[in-house]
Amino acid sequence: MTDATLVVTPAHNEEESVGLVVEGVRALGLRSLVVDDGSTDRTSLVAASAGAIVLNLPVNLGVGAALRTGFRYATRHGFKRVVQLDADLQHPPEAIPLLLEAADRGADLVVGSRFGSGYDPGARRAAMRLLSVVVSRRIGVRITDPTSGFKVVTEPLLSEFARYYPAEYLGDTVEALLQAGAFGASVIEIPVPMRQRFAGTPTMTPHAAGHFGRVLLSILAGRPGRRGR
């Protein structure tokens, strides 16, 4: 079934690590797609040299948009499931088979959860715990790491995500989980080993608190995903 699986890696200025990610993926016999989210460095070139198919977004749109681009590529080219893997090597590509095995057992969405050493400091930890509780309650499955960027998405959820996928910070993770729940997808979470960030800049920004509020609003509004007409 590896032919029907595509590993999508959104990358924004990750030239130092993206090559290793692509090589790790290809060593598993899987196809690698890197979506370059408006990088100003050599991310795109490094990824292509390492053997990835590369999509170049002309402007920086955020992880969610990069992922949706990957989902759209996957559905158009007949892939039945997508592994979502970050470009910063925080999740080792060698852990992908763990997720795929879980997906084979029938889950539409598999979340690889980080049981990291010293991963979440202070206020962030509290915020994540709150999100974890709220998300778990909403989708009826215990999710300890709602902001994990290491997932497997299988059809028909893949097509749903290709149609609509939240773009903003936390949207691509937390809101996407809620969307999957609302879609009726079966979601499971499995623990996977993680490394410390290898390179690149963390997505945690001063705007994070604002986005946290926005996500809570979206949860309260009970209408994650599906905006517009």
Residue 187 sits in the site that holds another protein (CB under 8 A): no
Helices 208-220 and 122-139 meet at what angle, rounded to 10? Answer: 20
Q: Is residue 228 involved in binding another protein (CB under 8 A)?
A: yes
Is residue 42 a contact point for another protein (CB under 8 A)? no
CA distance 24 to 3: 17
**Binding-site member from 18, 21, 30, 35 for another protein (CB under 8 A):** 35
Choosing from 65, 96, 157, 170, the residue that interacts with another protein (CB under 8 A) is 65
58 binds another protein per the rule CB under 8 A: yes
Cα–Cα distance, 214 to 21 (Å, whole number)? 32
Q: Which position among 17, 43, 44, 84 is part of the footprint of another protein (CB under 8 A)? A: 44
Q: Is 167 in the site for another protein (CB under 8 A)?
A: yes
Spatial distance between the Cα atoms of 151 and 198, rounded to a whole number of angstroms: 19
Stretch that binds another protein, among 3-11, 66-74, 128-136, 152-160 (CB under 8 A): 66-74
Strand partners, 39: none
User: What is the per-residue binding string for another protein in 74-113, x denoting contact by CB under 8 A?
Assistant: --x-------------------------------------
215 contributes a contact to another protein by CB under 8 A: no
Q: Select the residue interacting with another protein from 6, 21, 57, 153 (CB under 8 A).
A: 57
Of 51 and 191, CB closest to another protein: 51
- For residue 68, state whether it binds another protein (rule: CB under 8 A): yes
Interaction between residue 221 and another protein (CB under 8 A): no
* Residues 6 or more apart in contact with residue 74 via CB below 8 angstroms: 6, 8, 33, 82, 158, 162
Cβ neighbour number for residue 163 with a 10 Å cutoff: 12
Give the binding-site size for another protein (rule: CB under 8 A).
25
* Residue 55 interacting with another protein (CB under 8 A): yes
How far apart CA 96 and CA 105 sit, in angstroms, is: 15
Give contact residues for another protein (rule: CB under 8 A). 35, 44-45, 48-59, 61, 65, 68-69, 72-73, 76, 167, 227-228
